[in-house]
Amino acid sequence: MPGIIGNFVGSSAAAGSAYGLANDGVNIARYVQYFATNSAGNTFDQMGGATGASDALGSVWAMHYFGMGENLNKMVNWGMEEKKWDYVGVGYAIRAFSWLALTNMYGEVIMREAFRPEQLVFNYDNQKDVYDTVRAIGRLALDYLNKTGDNASQANLAKGDAYFYNGDVNKWKKFVYTVMARSFNHLSNKAEYKPDSVIKYALLGINANDDNATCKFANTGITGTSNFYGPVRNNAGALRQTEYIANLMNGLNSRFTGVTDPRSFYMLRENTNGTIRGIKPNKGASGLVTADQPQSFWGQVFSSAAAPVSDVTCRYIFKNGSPFPIITASENKFMLAEAYLRKGDRSSARTSYAEGISLNIDHLNTDYSAGVPAPRLMTPAAKTAFLTNPVVVPPAASLSLSHIMLQKYIALYGFGMHETWVDMRRFHYTDLDPSTGVQVYADLVTPSGIDLFINNSNKLVYRARPRYNSEYLYNIAELTRIGAIALDYNTKEQWFSQK
């Protein structure tokens, strides 16, 4: 089980491979403009897909089918045999999460025929069926998590999930509820979308930072026990903050004009001028003078991709031992806020929205203050000032989807790129808010012209292709059927974001 937990982020099972959300997150974060590369020419900065024989963006595929794969099946089977219902429940909970993460990345996936060790080729299933399965497995997970007695025991479960929920089945239940809420929230463009379903499950879900689903790290100096984005793993050397996130937090974005976000020195890096600036995708230093160029997330100069020996100069999720959030209470609150707003309950929406920001600030203060320059540490007064600033938290009547999605964008910065990508795709990156007529992701400029990858045929990215070395060598017939052979398959919109 620790291995399965580790797999959320980036496992290090056999042969030290790194499968998981954080690995593909490096590229998905480029799609959503969390990160960009410090030099031009990165395919993913250009919203390109994996090309040739590359396994890029195939890490979640490997996480689901191999990393968790038979291990989860075995865990569930053993749990059943030994009547450890909590293990069975946790197994299903993780599987529900994993199906959802998988399909949101790839769209059509192998579901009915998955985990057949003797089979040579595999058929794909529709995304709708996968969404239904997520909920079915989620309910199964809840049934078992609710089942006490026999050999279910907190102490024994904690042996498995010490670095996650430490044996607390109630937290696992909340995890499942929030996964269910996500599955309903993702369908906001559909006629059958019901905000009440989101609200019902989100209220039962993760609503306190203490319940956050977070992968923790033993940080013993080997890759497997280290955060994927820390210097030991050496995966974030060339990543820099984008202009988009920098401007959202330094007051240059039109939605939050003039407001300096107190969280900026936690999440982002200053330059030698002491200001927060970011780069544009595929533009390298983007014309910033040297003194304006942001440091690397490890505190190195802009041009250096090198990992420092020690992580004292690192902050946030970029330290070797920093916990890596999977789902936070803050995200759950923003889901609630969106659903309330869509339902028309503006006052509840505003409350949830403010709670989302507040929980995020608390979360940063608790887990990520290490390395932040002392004058930049958030005081309670700074938090209050921020939350009472009407530019940030407007009156209920003026709260817009744009506020919610942008604050959610900030709150999920650096770790929640998978969910942010779902959100952005729901709004087709640049959709206008029908009620206000302004772009929901205010000021967002998507790559175009030579900054948009050549294979995209001028379209934005909507999915990742399945892992090359799993599918493109051995499952060609089925890929051909679903159209995955096309070079612009990465631009094919998925079912979940369609009307």
Partner 1 sequence: MRQIKKITWLIMLPMLLHTMVMAQTSIKGKVTGPNNQPVSNATVTIKGKAKASQTDAKGEFTVMVSKGETLVFSSVGFVSKEIKVAEQTIINVKLTQDEGLLEGVVVTAMDIKKNPRELGYSVQKVDGDDIQETQRENFVNSLQGRVAGLTISPTSGAAGASSSIVLRGFNSLSMSNQPLFVVDGIVVDNQSVDETSDGGRGIGLASDRPNRNNDYQNRIADINPSDIDNVTILKGPEATALYGSQASSGAILITTKRAKTTKFQLQYDNSFRVSQLTRFPETIDQYSNGNNGIPASSFRYFGPAYGDTTLLFDNVKLFFRPGIAQTHNIGMDFGLKNSFFRLSGSVFDQQGVVPNNDFKRYNLRLSNTTKIGKYIELMPSVSLIKTENNKVLRSAGGYMLSLMIWPNKNNILNFEDPVTGDKLPLFSSNPNADYDNPFFNVYNNVGKDVTMRATTSLGININPTSWLSVQGRFGYDAYNIEGYTRFHPKSFYVSSAIQGTLDNYWRKYAGYNHTITATAKKKVGDFSFRGMVGTMWQDYKTQMYAITGNTLSSTESFDSSITAPNSRVRLLRNYFGEYNKQILRQFAYFGEAAVSYKNMLFLNYTHRFESASTLPAKNRNYNYPGGSLSIIASDLIKPLKNSDVISYWKIRTSLAGTARLNTPYSTQSVFVNNFASGNGFSYGFTNANPELAPERQSTYELGTEFRLFRNKLNLEATYYNTLNKGQIIENFRLSYGTGFVLNTQNAASTRNQGVEITLGSNVINKAKFGWNFQMNFNKMWNEVIDMPKNVSEYYIADTWLYGNARGGLVFGGPTTSITGFGYERNLNGDVLINPTNGLPVVEQLFKIRGDRNPDFTLGINNSFRLNRFRLNFLWDIKVGGDIFNGTHRFLTGAGKSPLTADRFTPRVVKGVLKDGRENTNPTPNTIVVVPALNDAYYTNMPEEDFIEKNVNWLRLRDLTFAYALPKNPFRDLPGIKTLEVFLTVNDLVLMTNYTGADPAVNGNTAGSRGVGGFGFDYGTMPAPISFNFGLKTSF
> Of residues 164-183, which lie at the interface with partner 1 (CB under 8 A)?
none
Residue 216, classed as helix, strand or coil, is coil
Position among 203, 208, 291, 454 found at the interface with partner 1 (CB under 8 A)? 454
* Cβ at position 7, least distance to partner 1 in Å: 7
1 binds partner 1 (CB under 8 A): yes
Among 113, 143, 196, 210, binds partner 1 (CB under 8 A): 113
What are the CA-CA distances from residue 363 to residues 36, 110, 189 (Å)? 25, 37, 31
- On whether the CB atoms of residues 195 and 352 are closer than 8 A, the answer is no
Applying CB under 8 A, which of residues 49, 231, 325, 414 lies at the interface with partner 1? 231
Among 56, 60, 232, 267, binds partner 1 (CB under 8 A): 232
Q: What is the CA radius of gyration of the chain?
A: 21
Instruction: Give the nearer residue to partner 1 in terms of CB position, either 388 or 480.
Output: 480
Are 78 and 87 in contact, with CB atoms under 8 Å apart? yes
**x/- map, 472-491, partner 1, by CB under 8 A:** -xxxxx--------------
Q: How many CB atoms lie within 10 A of CB 442?
A: 20
- Nearest distance from residue 57's CB to partner 1, in Å? 14
Torsion of the alpha carbons at 313, 318, 324 and 328, rounded to the nearest 10: 90
Torsion of CA 34, 38, 43, 45, to 10 degrees: 30
d(CA 344, CA 41): 44
Determine which residue in the list 135, 171, 182, 216 makes contact with partner 1, applying CB under 8 A.
216
d(CA 7, CA 63): 6
The 3-state DSSP class for residue 126 equals coil
Q: Which of 131, 12, 153 is nearest to 83 (CA)?
A: 153
Of 29-37, 92-100, 110-118, 482-490, the segment contacting partner 1 by CB under 8 A is 110-118
Binding segment for partner 1 (CB under 8 A), chosen from 51-59, 128-136, 284-292, 356-364, is: 51-59
Shortest Cβ distance from residue 378 to partner 1 (Å)?
Answer: 28
Residue 218 class from Cβ within 10 Å (0-12 exposed, 13-18 middle, 19+ buried)? middle
> By CB under 8 A, is residue 121 in contact with partner 1?
yes
Q: Is 412 helix (H, G, I), strand (E, B) or coil?
A: coil
CB of 499 to partner 1, least distance (A): 31
- Unique residue bearing structure tokens 């089925």: 478
Would you state the structure tokens that stand for residue 497, as one six-digit string?
Answer: 């974001």
Closest contact distance (angstroms) between CB of 323 and partner 1 is 10
Q: What is the rounded end-to-end Cα distance, in angstroms, of the chain?
A: 39
CB of 147 to partner 1, least distance (A): 24
Among 126, 156, 189, 234, binds partner 1 (CB under 8 A): 234
Taking CB under 8 A as the rule, does residue 52 contact partner 1? Answer: yes
Q: Which residues pair with 241 in a beta bridge?
A: 35
Q: Which residue is associated with the tokens 């004009």?
A: 257
Closest contact distance (angstroms) between CB of 186 and partner 1 is: 24
Q: Which of 480, 489, 463 is nearest to 121 (CA)?
A: 480
- Pair 175, 142: CB distance under 8 Å: no
Q: How far is the CB of 430 from partner 1 (least distance, A)?
A: 26
Residue 450 lies near partner 1 (rule: CB under 8 A): yes
Please report whether residue 4 would count as binding partner 1 according to CB under 8 A: yes
Interacting residues with partner 1 between 10 and 29 (CB under 8 A): 11-16
196: buried, middle or exposed (CB in 10 Å: 19+, 13-18, 0-12)?
exposed
CA distance 453 to 490: 11
Site for partner 1 contains 51 (CB under 8 A): yes
| Number of amino acids touching partner 1 (CB under 8 A) | 72
2 near partner 1, rule: CB under 8 A: yes
In the set 204, 218, 387, 486, which binds partner 1 (CB under 8 A)? 218
Q: Which 364-393 positions form the footprint of partner 1 (CB under 8 A)?
A: none
CB neighbours of residue 468 within 10 Å: 18
Confirm or reject binding of residue 455 to partner 1 (CB under 8 A). no
Q: Which is nearer to partner 1, 169 or 359 (CB)?
A: 169
DSSP type of residue 463: -
Considering only 186-194, 266-274, 395-403, 462-470, which stretch makes contact with partner 1 by CB under 8 A?
Answer: 462-470
Cβ neighbors of 58 (< 8 A, separation 6 or more) are: 24, 50, 464, 465, 466, 467, 468, 469, 470
Is residue 61 near partner 1 by the rule CB under 8 A? yes
Nearer to partner 1, 116 or 139 (CB): 116
Should residue 186 be labelled a site residue for partner 1 when binding is judged by CB under 8 A?
no
Nearest-approach distance from CB 300 to partner 1, in angstroms: 10
Q: Which of 25, 48, 49, 69 binds partner 1 (CB under 8 A)?
A: 69
Q: Which of 34, 35, 87, 163 binds partner 1 (CB under 8 A)?
A: 163
Candidates 114, 238, 382, 487: give the one binding partner 1 (CB under 8 A): 114
Q: Which residue in the set 126, 153, 224, 459 belongs to the binding site for partner 1 (CB under 8 A)?
A: 224
Q: Which of 28, 307, 444, 484 binds partner 1 (CB under 8 A)?
A: 307
Of the candidates 391, 410, 359, the residue with the CA atom closest to the CA atom of residue 241: 410
Beta bridge partners of 109: 125
Q: Give the separation between CA 361 and CA 394, rounded to whole angstroms.
A: 18
Which of 121, 136 has the CB closer to partner 1? 121
Bridge partner list, 215: 324
Q: Min. distance of Cβ 1 from partner 1 in angstroms? A: 6
